Amino acid sequence: MSTAKKIYDWFSKRSSLTAFLFLFIIAGIAFSGRSFLSFNSLANLMRKAASDGGFLALGMTFVILIGQIDLSVGAILAMGGVIMALFGNTHPLLGIFLGLLVGAVCGFANGFMVAKLKISSWIATLAMMLGLRGIVLLITNKKPIPIRNDILAVLGNATFFNINVLVFILVALTLICMLIARNTKFGFGIYAVGGNEDAAKMMGLSVDKIKIGAFVLCGTFSALAGMLLGSRLNTCQPTAGDSWETTAIAMCALGGIKLSGGEGKFSGTFFGILIITIIKTMFNYAGFLNSWWQNIIMGILIMVSIGVQSELFQGKETKQIKKKANA
Amino acid sequence: MADSRLARVDKVEKLRKYSVWILLSLMLILNLAITPNFFSMGMLNNLITQSCTIILTGMGMTMVISTGGIDISVGAVMALSGMVSVKMLPFGIIPSILSGILASLVFGSIAGFMVGRLRVSPMVVTLALLIGVRGVAQVLNDAKIFYISGANTDTYRLLGSYKVLGIFPVQLIPIFLAIGITFFILEKTVLGRYIQTVGDNPHSAKLAGISTTKTLLFVYMASAFFASIAGIFATAKIGAADGNSLGLLSELDAIAAVAVGGTSMAGGRAMVFGTVVGALIMQLITITVNMNNIPYEYAQVFKAIIIILAVYIQREKNS
Amino acid sequence: MTREILLEMKGIVKTFPGVQALKGVDFFVGKGEVHALMGENGAGKSTLIKTLTGIYQKEAGTIIFDGKEINPKTTIEAQHEGISTIYQELNLSPFQTVYENLYLGREPLTKFGIVNRKKMISDSKKVLEDLGIHVDVTQPLRKFGTAVQQMVAIGRAISINAKLVIMDEPTSSLDTKEVEVLFGVIRRLKAKGIAVVFISHRLDEIFVICERVTILKDGELAGSLGIEELDQLKLISYMIGREAKQLERQKTNYTFDNVAEISSMKNIVQGVRLNGIGIDIKKGEVLGLAGLLGSGRTELAKILFGATHPDSGDIYWMGKHQKLKAPRDAIRLGIGFCTEDRKVEGIIPHLSVKENMTIALLPKISKMGIVSKKKQDLVVNEYIKRLEIKTPSANQPIRNLSGGNQQKVLLARWLCMNPKLIIMDEPTRGIDVGAKEEIEELILELASSGISVLMISSEIAELQRNCDRVVVIREGVKLKELIGRDINQDSIMAAIAGGSQTISREGTVNG
């Protein structure tokens, strides 16, 4: 095999990475006059990726891999931030702990409804989103809670080598997720449940535990996102993360995580996050476009992505597998 | 042994049929007890005007859910329709309304095509529309609220403020029409049978000669149609087209109304009047909370719990 | 040469509401034995196996496995005892790799608690090589055909230390070469002392690979014999044997020689199921399709109805070539199809009797899309009377009716369309004797009024009674045609038994 073909194959297997590089190069050329390629703007890009929903996408990946969805990630984000601020202003460590705990608990509730009560994850997490948003507004009396503690303030604002700490956390978490997915029994179980749930049950896996585990991880990541966001903005808003669930889904879809479950890698999600972020950044640079254009583009991207994943374009084998699994 | 099972199944079906009415009565009694001035013309007026949106979108949603699908883009479609109709107002009231409807139907047909022909998950398609269509609505007016002004303003605003016979709010007309049309389609026409069959057993539907593609295309377009009407009436009432907030979260209300009303989320038998009662219940929750000076967020939480309960109860019975 | 018994099932009883699936069945399997379990649909094979593997709980009887009495309540329990099942739908994880599939749920860990991939890969290679399979275990499972996937399932069973492996229709989607490979694997299992229960309808294969055969019929043990005591005809007679009661055959001579053909199918090929088969149907004729399960009869019917499409072949209706894209097209021509599995493909469970019956008729009884209630009620009441459908009212949800009455409603669905051809796939399965007679009378009535009937049935007595002509099908090809006076139970059975050999009788022991 010629080196050219080898390189082509390598890239075509990593479509998200390729797409990202493609966009990056375009942006670099288009905005070269405005120092797009400077260290600062690149660091900003990464920081934006981390703070604008990157963690949500990582958590969401677990849930989509098992063939479900979590529409409450934005609401959990707000909840996590608010709880942290409420308790953390006086007891920072307690605040952090409780913030993460509330994320895990909400995730557990979602997982319980889906696995044990057998409610569709769309309905269950939709209701969770509605209910949580209400609770968050009630707790905060509709007012944002400012951060008054130094430790909390540092969480989202520290920098190392001029790069925001969020970037390091994002990279670290991505690596941890990759480790979990590839190298733990739980990770194996996630792919099994997503690929063919009935088979997974037949092979003796505790499907319910795996499902609940995925939702708990997603909830915890979402709460973490809210805490870090609040720290960065120096205030935790009850309306934080509004509509961010759709961004997270788009990041996953573009990262190659198939919505039908069982396929996709965390490295893909990472680049999906970057792709969405760079598109948003390009919009900012372009300036004249309404931010709502992002919504339109996002909608189209999701449509195209699922249209391509749809039956009409799937290979014969996948169709047969799905047919067997659903028989 | 088979007979006692039949008897049990019958009782359970009856309970499910009447549970909506029981719930409604409970709500009315509760309000009678604790809410001052509950049974007044003012409250009735409020109920009618406010439930216009949820009943209309509920009708569309009933048809979609009856096919085993779902449509969470109705709120965004409302916003689009409101914005488009207001923008086209200078050309006349009829062109204004027609263009709002047309714009919505375009997206409804996209959804119907992707679900019916490409067999994509309805949740995902309508999620993409939820994001994209609201974006279109916003972009049309540069994300600014469009206050209705200029030619034909008064005619348009009539849709929000007119009083039939001097007392009844104008919203009564679209409400009755929507319920009537939906009931007629689902109960009296061939298409209505097809819709419920596709949801109940798609295999049997195909073998009975039904075109699932055409049926699904219809219901998603119908849902968009009702949403567009709801959007126009809502915009007329407010007096402005707000691409950001119009119809926000209204899909949740519609789904709740349908679920509580007895139509199974898995598809099949459609309970049109059940949805109407479910819609009234949802609206009463909001009204009760308002009239008793309780923060609206409690209503939100309560609604979420009701959705979960209703869906859970229905799942049990489908064993 | 005593036979060491591994599995002893004695007096197994299992009932479901309305039907006794197992009436006290005995089943003995020896150590390292390749044992065929046979019987038509409804005979009780799958119920028996499900009782053994923990999916169902027996009501009476004992199960002794490897000297110990067991009563597994879940499939995992059965697996721990050493009983593994290779299902027809395989139950594997398609997107994960071969080695991941082999070790799913029991992954070996390294010292640090993470999964030891190296060990998994090398162990899987060994397990599969032991079976004579050499594949790249690091590829996703779905890259491989059914044959290899089956091997992986078998490999998994072995590595869980199965002592008994049950294979449910393992060869239904394999070609001849792959079947040889499977048989090689089975021989290796045998050499290891692992017993194999082989569920299949392919008589040729049974005679190649199995040592012993157990036949179930109507929930009872019809016979259990060594393969050397059987030949194909004898085996078939155990399976679909003669009915004690010989009902009179109404028809005598074949009178359709000069009658016009209404439909014909030529050279139909579809996957591995249909291998260039063709039939033709004449006006007013009752044509029976005979054959064992898996012979391709239902598949052929579905193609005629437009529900599936053949890979190649032609369909003609009234002499004109047709392209049937969906059942709609067939219905428009005047074809009706009463399916075999009414629950999955027939009834619309939550809708009423009335709606179920008229669903295909609706376009004909409506004007501008609105259904004429009057016409609808007329039709429904007529057929409730004519078929004696027992229901409290026409508005009763159909799922509340008994199986027999549901079937009648489905039949009425097509009858009320006044079709030119009705395809009936196992029309009297699961119906009581009284209703059976009524339906058969109906079929004869239809035929005499000029409607053709294509009847697929596993009950040769039924075919004998009602058909003008019987076509015998085996493994997707037409074997023989019986006409008029030649139709009787013996000739049908003999026709099914005699058939071309697709597998060599000598199995060679190779890798």
Q: Which two tokens stand for residue B59?
A: 């009708």
Q: In whole angstroms, what is the distance from residue C336 CA to residue B209 CA?
A: 10
- Render pLDDT for C452-503 as a digit per residue (tens, 0 to 9): 999 998 878 888 888 899 999 988 888 889 888 888 888 888 888 775 433 3
What share of residues in chain B are helix, strand, coil (percent, to 5)?
Answer: 75, 5, 20
Please give the model's pTM, rounded to 2 decimal places.
0.82
The length of chain C in residues reads 511
- Render pLDDT for B217-242 as a digit per residue (tens, 0 to 9): 999 999 999 999 999 999 999 888 88
Residue B1 has pLDDT above 50, yes or no: no
**pLDDT above 90 coverage of chain B, percent:** 41
In B, minimum Cα distance to A238 occurs at B297
From first CA to last CA, the distance across chain B in angstroms is: 18
pLDDT (0 to 100) of residue C238 = 83
Is the residue at C254 inside a domain? Answer: no
Q: In whole angstroms, what is the distance from residue C117 CA to residue C108 CA?
A: 8
Contact A220/A60 with Cβ under 8 angstroms?
A: no
| A113/B132 Cβ within 8 A | no
Disruptive mutation site among C350, C364, C414 for chain B (greatest number of B CBs within 10 Å): C350
Quick one: pLDDT band at residue C271, thresholds 50, 70, 90? confident
Q: In whole angstroms, what is the distance from residue B230 CA to residue B212 CA?
A: 27
Domain boundary residue, one of C384, C418, C452: C418
Q: How far is CA C263 from the centre of its chain?
A: 26
Is the residue at C33 inside a domain? Answer: yes
Q: In whole angstroms, what is the distance from residue A93 CA to residue A51 CA?
A: 21
Quick one: pLDDT band at residue A18, thresholds 50, 70, 90? confident
Contact B250/B54 with Cβ under 8 angstroms?
A: yes
What is the gyration radius of the CA atoms in chain B, in angstroms? Answer: 20
Residue C439's CATH number: 3.40.50.300
Q: In whole angstroms, what is the distance from residue C104 CA to residue A185 CA?
A: 8
Q: Which domain holds residue C355?
A: 346-418
C60 and C40 share a domain? yes
pLDDT (0 to 100) of residue A322 = 44
Task: Show Cβ contacts of residue C400 under 8 Å, excluding neighbours closer than 6 positions.
Answer: B6, B9, B10
Is the residue at C474 inside a domain? Answer: yes
DSSP state of B293: T
Is the residue at C255 inside a domain? Answer: no
C186 and C62 share a domain? yes
Task: Show Cβ contacts of residue A2 under 8 Å, excluding neighbours closer than 6 positions.
Answer: none
- Render pLDDT for C307-360 as a digit per residue (tens, 0 to 9): 999 999 999 999 899 999 999 999 999 999 998 877 778 889 889 999 999 999
Contact A189/A205 with Cβ under 8 angstroms?
A: yes
Disruptive mutation site among A113, A126, A304 for chain B (greatest number of B CBs within 10 Å): A126
In B, minimum Cα distance to A127 occurs at B304
Residue with tokens 């978490």: A173
pLDDT (0 to 100) of residue B98 = 95
C60 and C74 share a domain? yes
Contact B67/B195 with Cβ under 8 angstroms?
A: yes
Residue with tokens 């047919």: A323
- Render pLDDT for A71-119 as a digit per residue (tens, 0 to 9): 999 999 999 999 999 998 888 889 999 999 999 999 999 999 999 998 8
CA angle C415, C419, C423 (to 5 degrees): 80
For chain C, the average pLDDT equals: 85
Nearest to C327 among B6, B9, B209 (CB): B209
From first CA to last CA, the distance across chain A in angstroms is: 41
Rounded average pLDDT over B76-86: 94
Is the residue at C340 inside a domain? Answer: no
Q: In whole angstroms, what is the distance from residue B224 CA to residue B235 CA?
A: 16
Task: Show Cβ contacts of residue A225 under 8 Å, excluding neighbours closer than 6 positions.
Answer: A53, A54, A55, A56, A59, A77, A80, A241
Q: Is C111 helix (H, G, I), strand (E, B) or coil?
A: coil
Adjacent-strand bridge partners of C28 = C8
Residue B276's CATH number: 1.10.3470
Which residues of chain A lie closer than 8 angstroms to B311, CB-CB? Answer: 119-120, 123
Residue B167 has pLDDT above 90, yes or no: no
Residue C433 has a CB neighbour count (10 Å cut-off) of 10
List all residues of chain B from 142 to 181 with a beta carbon under 8 Å from chain A.
Answer: 142-143
Structural domains counted in chain C: 4
Higher pLDDT, B257 or A285: B257
Higher pLDDT, B202 or C232: B202
Structural domains counted in chain B: 1
Task: Show Cβ contacts of residue C508 under 8 Å, excluding neighbours closer than 6 positions.
Answer: none
Is the residue at B21 inside a domain? Answer: no
Q: Which domain holds residue B254?
A: 38-317
pLDDT (0 to 100) of residue A290 = 65
- Render pLDDT for B191-208 as a digit per residue (tens, 0 to 9): 999 999 999 888 899 999
| B206/C369 Cβ within 8 A | no
- Chain A residues with CB within 8 Å of chain C CB: 179, 182-185, 187-189, 191-192, 194-196, 198-200, 202-205, 262-263, 317-318, 321, 324-325, 327
Residue A321 has pLDDT above 50, yes or no: no
- Render pLDDT for B126-157 as a digit per residue (tens, 0 to 9): 988 998 999 999 888 887 888 888 888 888 88
Quick one: pLDDT band at residue B316, thresholds 50, 70, 90? low
**pLDDT above 70 coverage of chain C, percent:** 93
Is the residue at C206 inside a domain? Answer: yes
Residue with tokens 């549901």: C406
Q: In whole angstroms, what is the distance from residue C290 CA to residue C489 CA?
A: 11
In A, minimum Cα distance to C54 occurs at A202
Contact B134/A297 with Cβ under 8 angstroms?
A: no
DSSP state of A51: I
In C, minimum Cα distance to B1 occurs at C17
Quick one: pLDDT band at residue C233, thresholds 50, 70, 90? confident
| B1/C362 Cβ within 8 A | no
C23 and C156 share a domain? no
Is the residue at B198 inside a domain? Answer: yes
Residue C504 has pLDDT above 60, yes or no: no
C462 and C362 share a domain? no
Task: Show Cβ contacts of residue C202 under 8 Å, excluding neighbours closer than 6 positions.
Answer: C171, C294, C475
Question: Cα dist. A72→A31, A120, A299, C487 in Å?
Answer: 36, 14, 19, 68
Torsion over CA: A112, A117, A120, A125 (sign) = negative
C137 and C147 share a domain? yes
Contact B37/B31 with Cβ under 8 angstroms?
A: no
Disruptive mutation site among C75, C84, C89, C93 for chain A (greatest number of A CBs within 10 Å): C93
Residue B37 has pLDDT above 80, yes or no: no
Residue C1 has pLDDT above 50, yes or no: no
Which residues of chain B lie closer than 8 angstroms to C331, CB-CB? Answer: 209
Task: Show Cβ contacts of residue B254 under 8 Å, excluding neighbours closer than 6 positions.
Answer: B54, B57, B58, B60, B61, B74, B279
- Interface check C327 vs B, CB under 8 A: yes
Q: Which chains touch A (3 or more CB pairs under 8 A)?
A: B, C
Is the residue at C247 inside a domain? Answer: no
Residue C282 has pLDDT above 60, yes or no: yes
List all residues of chain C from 411 to 470 with a beta carbon under 8 Å from chain B.
Answer: 413
Secondary structure of A222-274 in the HEC alphabet?
HHHHHHHHHHHHCEECCCCCCCHHHHHHHHHHHCCCCCCCCCCCHHHHHHHHH
pLDDT (0 to 100) of residue A51 = 85
Amino acid identity, residue B48? I
Higher pLDDT, C194 or A285: C194
Nearest to C359 among B189, B197, B203 (CB): B197
Rounded average pLDDT over A50-56: 89
Domain boundary residue, one of C418, C453, C469: C418
Q: Which two tokens stand for residue A94?
A: 């307690």
The domain segmentation of chain A, as residue ranges, is 56-243+260-265
Q: Among the listed ranges B207-221, C230-244, C304-318, which one has the minimum average pLDDT value? A: C230-244
Is the residue at C148 inside a domain? Answer: yes
